Every structure is written in structure tokens, then in C-alpha cells.
Amino acid sequence: MTDQVTATESGNPEIPGKPTSASRTTLSHIMTHNDTNLLGTVHGGVIMKLVDDAAGAVAGRHSGGPAVTASMDEMVFLEPVRVGDLVHVKAQVNWTGRTSMEVGVRVLAERWNESTPPTQVGSAYLVFAAVDADGKPRRVPPVMPETERDNRRYQEAQIRRTHRLARRRAIKELREKRAAEGFED
């Protein structure tokens, strides 16, 4: 196993860390005609809601309280989902900051009446912020990767975070520049 992340490295030295497995969860749902679009496949929005539900459960479990969706990255649909598919949404905390967490989600589907292995049909990364009763950010426990795969996910999540922050900064700078030049958005 490569270097494991310590509580001090994650930025939350006074809060005990939690292992990745402590909040990992799977949400399963059978798709019906109510979930379909005009093409007869399941709406992407239905899958996205399941993704957000599972990720929210994981974020709340990891942080020990309410957590809200801050952003969704890289929602990828790999295969269509159909009526009669049993969809499994698997989620886990990949990375934690001071008050935020990245949750990775894999979406699998299998026919409800067959014993074939599930197929991956989608994936996403979401960022959640832990909040207190007043909706203010609160600190989260560091995630403690347990396996080589968890360590890889942690490192990849740090790269995605760097890209999110750089993108946000570049857009802000562009808007400020355009405003200084007299352009209105």
C-alpha cells in the first residue's frame, strides 16, 4: 500500500478520521415506466437524483450530520438504463477538506429477472459541504483511505479539486477583466 493520508495532512488534526468503509453505501432502485423519457430509456435526471441521494447519504454519514450538495462533476452516462433494470448506486467519500467532501459514485444496472453481472452505466463526482443547524459550514472528519484503490481515489480527488479551484479562479478573473473593460454580463 502507498502512503496513507493522516489526519494532519487532511487539514483536520483535531477531529478523528473515519475509514472509507465507515460511510460507503449502496442505494438500489428498480426502474419503471414512470422513470422513462420519450425514447423509452430512463431519464438522465432520474439517475442523477439517485446519484445525489446516495452521495448525500454518504456525506451525511461521514460528516455525522447534514451535508448539502455544492457541485457535481463529470456525470458520465456510459450505457442507457431501461425499464426493468435494477440500478445500484455505489458511493463513498474519496477526499475531505476542512468542511467539504468529494463523494465518488458508480452506477450499475442489471436486469431485474436475470442473474447476469451488473454493468457500469454511469459515474459521477460530487462535492458536499457539511453544515450546522444554521446552514453554516462545519468541520468534517478526515477520510482515512484503507486500500490501494482508496488511496488512488484520494489522490485523483485532490487533482479534481485543484482543477475546480483553478477553473473557478480563471472564470472570476475573466469576469473582473470584462467588467473593468465595461462589458456587462
Report residue 1's pLDDT band, with 50, 70 and 90 as the boundaries: very low
Instruction: Supply φ then ψ for residue 118, to 5 degrees.
Output: -65, 155
User: Has residue 12 got a pLDDT over 60?
Assistant: no
Q: Are 143 and 93 in contact (CB under 8 A)?
A: yes
Res 13: pLDDT: 56
User: Has residue 24 got a pLDDT over 60?
Assistant: yes
Q: Burial level of 129, CB count in 10 A (0-12/13-18/19+)?
A: buried
Span 8-36, average pLDDT: 85
Each residue's pLDDT tens digit, 25-43: 999 999 999 999 999 999 9
Nearest to 63 by CA among 124, 123, 12, 125: 12
Q: Please write down the HEC assignment for all residues of the chain.
A: CCCCCCCCCCCCCCCCCEEHHHCCEEEEEECCHHHECCCCEECHHHHHHHHHHHHHHHHHHHHCCCEEEEEEEEEEECCCCECCEEEEEEEEEEEECCCEEEEEEEEEEEECCCCCCCEEEEEEEEEEEEECCCCCECCCCCEECCCHHHHHHHHHHHHHHHHHHHHHHHHHHHHHHHHHCCCCC
Each residue's pLDDT tens digit, 113-148: 999 999 999 999 999 999 999 999 999 999 999 999
Res 73: pLDDT: 86
Residue 131 to residue 45: CA distance in whole angstroms: 25
Instruction: Supply φ then ψ for residue 61, to 5 degrees.
Output: -65, -45
Res 184: pLDDT: 81
What is this structure's pTM? 0.87
Res 15: pLDDT: 87
Res 8: pLDDT: 46
Amino acid at the residue 139: R
Span 78-98, average pLDDT: 97
Span 16-24, average pLDDT: 95
